[in-house]
Structure 1
Amino acid sequence: MEVPELSPSLLESLVAVVATLGELVAAVAGPDGDALLPSSPNSLHKALDSFIGHLMATLGHLGVTSPGHHGDVTLGETLAAFGDTPGPTRADVTSAAGAWRDSVAALGDRWHRLATEATKLLEACEDAATAEATAAAAATQRAGDRRDKETKWVTNLDSLVAKAKRLLVVTDEEKGAKALQEHQATVEVASRDTEVARKDMEDAVVATNEAMAATKRGRRAEVALGPLRALVAACDEATAAFRELSRRVGDIAATLEESPNVTEGLVAAVAQAERLWEAGGRLATRHLVGTLGDIRRLLPRGPGGPGGPSGRTVAERCQKAIEDIPRLLRGQ
């Protein structure tokens, strides 16, 4: 069996997800960074807290699951002892390979669910930004309509004042009486219009405030869009990496089921895949789960929260995780 080169890309993809999540949380953290969402949970912060919890559980699953465990023995250890007398049987070997294949497949499913969760969160934020922009536009239009009516009322009032002034200079008694009658009728209409205008002015103020509030809410959702798109892409990369590992482990399990011989190439392929799996577990427990704890604490407090971590702290921890990958792959 051909042994492909061991690539750190899977481990790097795990760090990328955590680092991107840290950038997202840093952008929306704090009491003023939350956004209202159109679906449950209706809070961006609550949705992100839930996502962080799911990601921590997924990484924790990687850290505690042994590759191809048969009892407390890994597939590599089972293969090394195969053929000894007494030693593992063919059934023991295929059972260990199948168990590992199932573990990798299950973890791949977890990553697929995480990617789907991130995608749904992105869609919810896009819907929120669109809805708030629509609401702001409608409120702005309503405020404009009310102000137009207010302007018309002011014009009519000016006209009424002008007529009153002309009435004062009328000297003909008959014309004056007629003008006064017309003026009184106009005053009655103006009085009714004044009440309507007052309500229009009040509604214009309310609509303006609604437009400002909707614009503010929309901006909160918009801030999250770029980082959320990056998070979706990072989750897709991690899912693809686990899909490749699942394919590789599936090939190993199929070879063990079909071939009566345990070749050196097969043993080497198992050893490489196990090293990658175990390095992922150490990466999760030594670096990533703790960093996610920092991200979770950062979310409600904001970057300037007292005694809390900052976005820079998270970025530094992720950089240290990347730098530690070669050592982890050596089993250290």
Structure 2
Amino acid sequence: MPFDPAEALRLAHETLDIEAAAVLGLKRQLDDGFARAVQLVLQATGRVVVMGMGKSGHVGRKIAATLASTGTPAMFVHPAEASHGDLGMIQAMDVVLAISNSGESAELTSILPLVKRLGAPLIAMTGGAGSALARYADIVLNSSVEKEACPLNLAPTASTTAQLALGDALAVALLDARGFRAEDFARSHPGGALGRRLLTRVTDVMREGTGVPSAAPEASFSELMREISEKGLGAAAIVDTDERVLGIFTDGDLRRLVETGRDLRTLTAREVMRPQPRTISQHALAAEAAEIMEKNRITVLLVLDDEGRLCGALNSNDLMRAKVI
């Protein structure tokens, strides 16, 4: 049968329309059972144990991962493996979220009496209101759809999309009820871009010790330039004997100074420095340093300790290496 591009596009549009309608249909099906499910999970002292077979199982793994990353401890247990020992992972303090479009998956329904005997409350996500799963459940979340996107109305398509959306709705309601914040999300995603932005501190990326270019106010211009060249930051802090910052001199300041035509050899660091430079606390987020640089159109920041003394420095390259920007 020859490939028909127009027919492929038509089916794609139809699939998206059917699945969109399935998700929107969930709004009409939601009732107070959803709120009771959220409350049940909030009150639990254990984890949410998600279970499902086949495509519902794949969806269940994603729902468990979403719950875990948004503040609700969760894990996935395969129903078939549960009947061969993994049922021991479930405790009375847990909440079981069982997913099945028909509600009659044999591997799942066969262990439901054992789950109930353990004393773990059961939330069913199913399209079968009169199914075995629904009958065993303490709370039923209706995930039924009018039809699958599959032209044969056989392959789980719209039904799994609905399950996924309903699982996301549950996770969002829970994270809101828990007061879950962006910082909390970052702590469970330390390797991601958000984690780096919300967890990386200035002290993690700054240059310190002998790597910080600095000079006394009485230093000659030659000494100041040597310090800038050796440290490679593109600037040097001018500090007093107590390491209090008096000013800064940057590569940009040098270019502007050269344009004046003055005899640079006669100048001291105090005479060429720019007073009251931008500074940041060593405990601040590195993302805050990036924001200050962008807002003030600068590339170097001096870092102060709790006593207000110079303890470090960083530039935009340091932030890029740390993948903060």
TM-score normalised to structure 2 length: 0.23
The structure with the greater share of residues assigned to strand is 2
Larger Rg: 1
By percentage of residues, which structure has more helix? 1
